[in-house]
Chain A
Amino acid sequence: MSFLEINEVSKFYQTHKALDHVSLSVPEGSIYGLLGPNGAGKTSLIRIINQITAPDTGSITFDNEPLNTEHIYKIGYLPEERGLYKKQKVWEQMIYFGQLKGLSLAEAKKRSEEWLVKFDLREWKNKKVEELSKGMQQKVQFIITVLHKPKLLILDEPFTGFDPINSEIIMNEIKSLKAQGTTILYSTHRMESVEEICDHICLINKSKKILDGSVKEIKKQNSKNLFELVFEGIMPTWIEKISEEPTDEGLTKLVFKVKNMNRAEIIKRVANEVNVWSFREIVPTIHQIFIDKVQEVNHA
């Protein structure tokens, strides 16, 4: 069941088209990767979901209701460009933003306290934000985003500015929020983390959606029927060779392409002809798919 449904949404600015009939469907409780190069229209889409701007055409359904102002209390948004009041105390700031997201004063205090403990920031709570390290500021920012327990969490490049240790902490928090049923829209142009956490992805380029679906399916769809074989013996002739190189052990490493045969059939036939040391299908990475697709569109 989809939690967030974007139907044919378009957005025009004075000089350019930011979104062109974009439709996508974010399944409930999933981590949905919103991918695309800079300037593709990701931020425009996020702003529309956040109701910072309105779409020119199209509609949005949130939790089976047309998107309305009450929904902003159920959305948590971590923008790419982070910002906090530098001169304000950590604690006051967390409570303030919590209240803006509809929490009562008491509830905002209680939850802030819990998160400060969780992120090991308790002794910093009465410090001004500018006194904190960048990593700590990012943590505060993350807390502010999730304090009101949003049903939809929109993370725009959430790992920028974190060192590997803090990235790990945030990654675990994201996974744990997902486990609690939060739907997460994860916008990025960095592919490394996508395969690790995303269930579904959508690729936007030049204001248009160019593909979407589950990570598994997309990889399958974009499979190029490439295989890697390390063997000993005489090269089979029925394959379409892409590259060939000797290995240190005196074997041959071959990359080849086969059409109209499944993996099992290929293994069987190869094993009959040569001495197989290893065999694997070369599955495209999301990164590769991303680059290929974007270039395809740009060259078209």
Chain B
Amino acid sequence: MHKIWLITKREYLSRVTKKSFIVMTILGPVLIALFYGVIIGLAVNQKTGEKTRTIAVVDSSGLFKNHLENPSKVEFIYTENDTTTLGKDIFGWMIIPKDFTLDNPKEIVFKSTESATLDLQGKLTNAVEASGKNQKLMQKGVRQSFLDSLKMEVQMKTLEISETGDLLSSQAELNFGLGAAFAFIIYFFIFLYGVQVMRGVMEEKTNRIVEIIISSVKPFQLMMGKILGIAMVGLTQFLIWIALSGILTGIISIFFASQIGSVPHNLPQAGNQIQAMNPILEAFFNLNFSFYIAIFVFYFLFGYLLYSSMFAAIGSAVDSESDTQQFMLPVTLPLIISFATSFSILASDPHGSMATFMSLFPLTSPIIMMVRLPFDPPGWELAVSMITLVLTFILFTWLAGRIYKVGILMMGKKPTYKQLFKWMLMK
């Protein structure tokens, strides 16, 4: 164990002190934060960025002066005619004719240089109608205070009935995003670090360091030390990414929250607005992060261990990078297939038979189970998938160790599959 530890330590330290590692580790979260910032920025700007428009009301009927309530993003001012501006940047003039009465509302006119959107037209007519209604009610003896108390704000959650009869909500969008993100990260990490294992093995083989090392340690110890060392590099990078991304996105969120807060009129509703604006964000904050991270780390670790033992075997069998291609494809195929199908699984049915099978099958489960995770797969499936993965990892590492042991000392001709199989059975 002491030797595996020594090797793990060397593999770890020699990698985390590399410039490329440090750059990647810092750059990753910065990119993530930047991406987040742009998304939030766009969302926030759509709401707060819309300018408040000043509408001049030319009220010849005298019914509405100072009675119209400002709808959101609209401010009413009252003028005598349709040319006065009162020194303001007027978007348009709403002209209420002289013969307009509450019982006989005549057509009102809106004049503007830019055409008024349907949204704006609706807001203006609604304001007039609401004011007219209030005036009628007051004529019938309803008091102003009662009218004020009628105001209420209702929020709505939208649900969609899917083909299978399930209810989809904004949560679904979030789950989709999460599943896709998990699939990508696991795929990316297994590839990135698995290939590092392969390169490391090849480096030792072609540099002939391996003969010195295995005269001191068992080949299996060397292989495990390398695999574990690189796993720790991956975990270090991942944890730094999580921590740094968390901090950076936190800072960005606070920044935008303060921006929203600084807009007048909306002060009391600032918080509500963010929530209303983005139900996805709301769902996001309700997630069970520690659970997801724990499961993620498990699948990342064992998925990586499973594949990297195969990568180590490939690295040991060949002498040059170009010879690896032939062996890489069959090994990485399950990984590529699961990554490719993850999106269709997400889009169709995350609990279908295909998805269920792939999330239990150990060569595909690290990606597919993570894809399904946000959709709450049954606990027993999760357990079976995890146990199968661990058992397969043990079996594959043992087999890979046998190929590795023979391969690292074989120089020259590229072996065939048949030979690799023989190596597995060799004493």
A39, B276: Cα distance in complex, Å: 79
Q: What is the CA–CA distance of A144 and B211 in the complex, to the nearest angstrom?
A: 13
The CA-CA distance from A50 to B216 in the complex, in Å, is 8
Contact B214 A97 (CB under 8 A): no
Kindly state the separation between the CA atoms of A75 and B207 in the bound complex, as whole angstroms.
Answer: 21
The stretch that binds B, out of A83-91, A180-188, A230-238, is A83-91
Given A52-B409, A54-B427, A100-B6, the answer on whether A85 and B207 have CB atoms closer than 8 Å is yes
Q: In the complex where A54-B427, A88-B14 touch, is A72 in contact with B216 (Cβ < 8 A)?
A: yes
A81 proximal to B (CB < 8 A): yes
Q: Which of B204-221 contact A (CB under 8 A)?
A: 204, 207-217
Q: Do A86 and B207 touch across chains, with their CB atoms under 8 A apart? A: yes
Residues of A within 8 A of B211 (CB): 52, 77, 79, 81, 83
A61 at interface, CB cutoff 8 A: no
Assess the A52–B215 pair: CB atoms within 8 A: yes
The residue on A at minimum CB distance from B211 is: A79
CB distance from B15 to the nearest CB of A (A): 10
Tell me the A51-104 residues at the B interface (CB within 8 Å): 51-54, 72, 75, 77, 79, 81-88, 96-97, 99-101
Return the contact of A82 from the options B203, B208, B427 (Cβ within 8 A).
Answer: B208
User: In this complex, what residue of B is CB-closest to A73?
Assistant: B216
* Cα of A87 to Cα of B209 in the assembled complex, Å: 13
Closest to A56 in B: B427
- Most central of A52, A84, A99, A100 by chain B CB within 10 Å: A100
CA distance A96 to B209 in the complex (A): 13
* A209 vs chain B, min Cβ distance (A): 23
B210 near A100 with CB under 8 A, answer no
A10 to B214, CA, bound (A): 21
The complex places the Cα of A53 from the Cα of B211 at a distance, in Å, of: 11
- Check A83–B422 contact: CB distance below 8 A: no
Interface string of B188-231 (1 = CB under 8 A from A): 00000000000000011001111111111100000000000000
Contact A87 B14, CB 8 Å, known A54-B427, A101-B216: yes
What chain B residues lie within 8 Å of A82 (beta carbons)? Answer: 208
A53 cross-chain contacts in B, Cβ below 8 A = 409
- Tell me if B3 counts as interface (CB < 8 A to partner A): yes
With the chains together, A145 CA to B211 CA distance in Å?
Answer: 12
A79 and B215 alpha carbons, distance in the complex (Å): 10
In the complex formed, the residue of A with least CB distance to B419 is A14
Q: How far is the CA of A186 from the CA of B217 in the complex (A)?
A: 23
Contacts of B214 in A (CB 8 A): 52
Given A54-B427, A99-B6, A100-B3: A79 in contact with B216 (beta carbons within 8 A): no
- In the bound complex, residues from chain B placing their C-beta under 8 Å from that of A52 are 211, 214-215, 409
How long is the Cα–Cα vector from A87 to B210 in the complex, in angstroms? 15
Complex partner residue of A72 from B204, B208, B215, B409, CB under 8 angstroms:
B215
**B10 at the A/B interface (Cβ < 8 Å)?**
yes
Q: Which residues of A contact B210 (CB under 8 A)?
A: 83
Check A96 against B6 for contact (C-beta < 8 Å): yes
Decide: B208 and A81 in contact? CB cutoff 8 A: yes
Report A141-175 residues with CB < 8 Å from chain B CB.
144-145
Contact: B215 with A77, CB < 8 Å? yes
Tell whether, in the assembled complex, residue B422 and residue A96 are in contact, meaning their CB atoms are under 8 Å apart: no
Which residue in chain A gives the minimum CB-CB distance to B9? A96
Residues of chain A in range 30-59 having any CB-CB distance to chain B below 8 Å: 47, 50-54
- Measured CA separation A86–B409 after assembly (Å): 20
Q: How far is the CA of A102 from the CA of B6 in the complex (A)?
A: 11
Bound Cα distance from A54 to B422, whole angstroms: 17
Which residues of A lie under 8 Å from residue B215 when comparing CB positions? 50-52, 72, 75, 77, 79
Residue ID in chain B nearest A14 by CB atoms:
B422
Measured CB to CB, the closest approach of chain B to A18, in angstroms, equals 12
- Shortest Cβ gap from B14 to chain A (Å): 6
A83, B208: Cβ atoms closer than 8 Å: yes
Q: CA separation between A54 and B203, bound complex, in Å?
A: 25
**CA distance in complex: A83, B208 (Å):** 5
B212-A144 in contact (CB<8A): yes
Closest partner residue, chain A, to B214 (CB atom) = A52
B residues 318-354 near A (Cβ < 8 Å) are none
**A259 CB to nearest chain B CB (Å):** 49
Interface centre among B208, B210, B211, B409 (most CB of A within 10 A): B211
Residues of B1-38 at the interface with A, using a CB-CB cut-off of 8 Å, are: 3, 6-7, 10, 14
A54 to B3, CA, bound (A): 21
Which residue of chain B has its CB nearest to the CB of A81?
B208
By the criterion CB–CB under 8 Å, are B10 and A96 in contact? yes
Distance from B1 Cβ to chain A, minimum over Cβ atoms (Å) = 13
Complex CA–CA separation, A101 to B14 (angstroms): 20
Find out whether the CB atom of B207 lies under 8 angstroms from the CB atom of A100.
Answer: no
Assuming the A-B contacts A52-B214, A52-B215, A72-B216, are A85 and B209 also in contact, with contact meaning beta carbons closer than 8 angstroms in the complex? yes
Q: Which residues of A contact B208 (CB under 8 A)?
A: 79, 81-83
The interface residues of chain B lying within 8 Å CB-to-CB of A87 are: 14
Closest to A145 in B: B212
Please name all residues of chain B whose beta carbon is closer than 8 Å to the beta carbon of A81 when the two chains form the complex: 208, 211
Choice from B203, B216, B422 contacting A100 with Cβ under 8 Å: B216
Which residues of chain B from 395 to 427 have any CB-CB distance to chain A below 8 Å in the complex? Answer: 409, 422, 427
Q: Which residues of B contact A77 (CB under 8 A)?
A: 211-212, 215
Encode B58-79 as 1/0 by CB contact (under 8 A) with A. 0000000000000000000000
Min CB distance B423 to A, Å, is: 10
Give me 25 A-to-B residue pairs in the complex whose CB atoms sit less than 8 angstroms apart, sorted by A's number: A14-B422, A50-B215, A51-B215, A52-B215, A72-B215, A77-B215, A79-B208, A79-B211, A79-B212, A79-B215, A81-B211, A83-B208, A84-B209, A85-B203, A86-B207, A87-B14, A96-B6, A96-B10, A97-B213, A97-B216, A100-B7, A100-B216, A100-B217, A101-B216, A145-B212
Extra pairs beyond A85-B14, A100-B213 (13, CB < 8 Å): A14-B422, A51-B215, A52-B214, A72-B216, A77-B211, A83-B204, A83-B208, A84-B207, A85-B207, A87-B14, A96-B6, A97-B212, A144-B212
List of 6 A-B pairs having minimum Cβ-Cβ separation, nearest first: A83-B208, A83-B209, A81-B208, A83-B207, A50-B215, A100-B216
